[in-house]
Amino acid sequence: MRGKFITFEGIDGAGKSSHIAGVCELLRSRGLTVVSTREPGGTPLGEKLRELLLHEPMHLETEAMLMFAARREHLAAVIEPALARGDWVVCDRFSDATYAYQGGGRGLDRHKLLDLEHWVHGHLQPDLTLLFDLPFAVARERIVLQTRELDRFEQERADFHERVRQAYLERAAASGQRMHVIDADRPREQIKKTVEEIVSSICR
Ligand SMILES: Nc1ncnc2c1ncn2[C@@H]1O[C@H](COP(=O)(O)OP(=O)(O)OP(=O)(O)O)[C@@H](O)[C@H]1O
Ligand SMILES: Cc1cn([C@H]2C[C@H](O)[C@@H](COP(=O)(O)O)O2)c(=O)[nH]c1=O
C-alpha cells in the first residue's frame, strides 16, 4: 500500500521543526517506516540549491524556479520512491511554502506558480499539512534568541512575513481537509498534544 505524505509549514520561527522528530517517533511507534526530509533540500543537489536560495541574492522568478527544481529532484530521488515502497514521508515544507513565500511574500503571479507546480508534481499533494500559525512578532522573538546568522528570508521585513502568514492562512482555508491550522503561540507541550491528535487521525 502507498505511504502517506505529511508536510509541516509556517513562517520562519513558527516552531515546526521542534515537532517533526516527535511525529516521526509517533509514526514509528505504530510500526510505520518513516522518511524525514526537508525543502529546499533533501537530496545532495537540493542541499546545494538550498545554500544558494538561502544566501545568494537572485531574481524572484529564479528563486521560484530553483525551489521547484530542487523539488523535482527531491520528488524523483526521495519522496516518490518512498511513497511507492509504502513508507511515510514527513517533510519540513513543500509547495505551500512556495505559494506563501514567493507568491504571498514576494508577489509572484499565482498562475506562474500553478504552471510550475503542475509541471513538477502534477496532482500529487500532501495527505496532511500542519500549518503552524502565530504572529510574526512572536516568531521573531524566538528567532533572535538563536545566535546564528539570519538567512535571506529571515532578514526580510515584518510586512513580508505578514504577507507570508496571510497567504498560508488563505491557502489553508481553501484546502478542504488537507491543511490543519495549529495555534503555535502556545507552550510546546500543548502544541505537541494537538499535533499528535491530528497525526493519529490519519493513522487509523
Ligand atoms: N512553543 C514554543 N515556545 C517557545 N519557543 C519555541 C516554541 N517552539 C519552538 N520554540 C523555539 O523557537 C525557535 C524556532 O523553532 P523551530 O526551529 O522549531 O522553528 P521553525 O518553524 O522550524 O523555524 P524555521 O522555519 O525558521 O527553521 C527555536 O529556538 C525553538 O527552540
Ligand atoms: C520550500 C520553500 C522554502 N522557502 C523558504 C522558507 C524558509 O525561510 C527557508 C527555508 O528555511 P527553513 O529553516 O527550512 O524554514 O526557505 C521558500 O521561500 N519557498 C519554498 O518553496
Domains of the chain (ranges plus CATH)?
5-201 (3.40.50.300)
Q: Are 63 and 53 in contact (CB under 8 A)?
A: yes
> Could you give the CA distance from residue 94 to residue 71 in angstroms, rounded to a whole number?
8
In this structure, what C-alpha cell is assigned to residue 53?
Answer: 536560495
Residue 96 Cα, ligand 2 centroid: separation in angstroms? 10
Confidence label for 145 from pLDDT (cuts 50, 70 and 90): confident
Q: Is 4 annotated as a binding residue?
A: no
Provide the pairing of β-strand 128-133 with 88-92.
Answer: unpaired
> Rounded to the nearest whole angstrom, what is the distance from the C-alpha of residue 79 to the centroid of ligand 2?
18
Would you mind telling me the total number of residues written for the chain in this entry? 204
The residue that leads in pLDDT, 178 or 143, is 178
Does ligand 2 lie within 6 Å of residue 92's CB atom?
Answer: yes
- Site to probe by mutation for ligand 2, drawn from 12, 37, 93, 95 as the one with most ligand atoms within 8 Å of Cβ, is 93
Residue 174 has a pLDDT of 98
Q: Give the CA distances from residue 153 to residues 114, 133, 145, 186, in Å, rounded to whole numbers and listed in that order.
A: 22, 17, 17, 24
**What is the tens place of the pLDDT at every residue in 75-104?**
999 999 999 999 999 999 999 999 999 999
95 is in an annotated binding site: no
pTM over 0.90: yes
Amino acid in position 145: L
Q: What is the spatial distance between Cα 133 and Cα 158, in angstroms, rounded to a whole number?
A: 15
pLDDT digits (tens, 9 = 90+) for 97-108: 999 999 999 999
DSSP 58: -
144: confidence class by pLDDT, cuts 50, 70, 90: confident
Above pLDDT 90, what percent of the chain? 96
Return the pLDDT at 18.
Answer: 85
Distance 31 CA to ligand 2 centre (A): 30
Average pLDDT of the residues in 44-60: 98
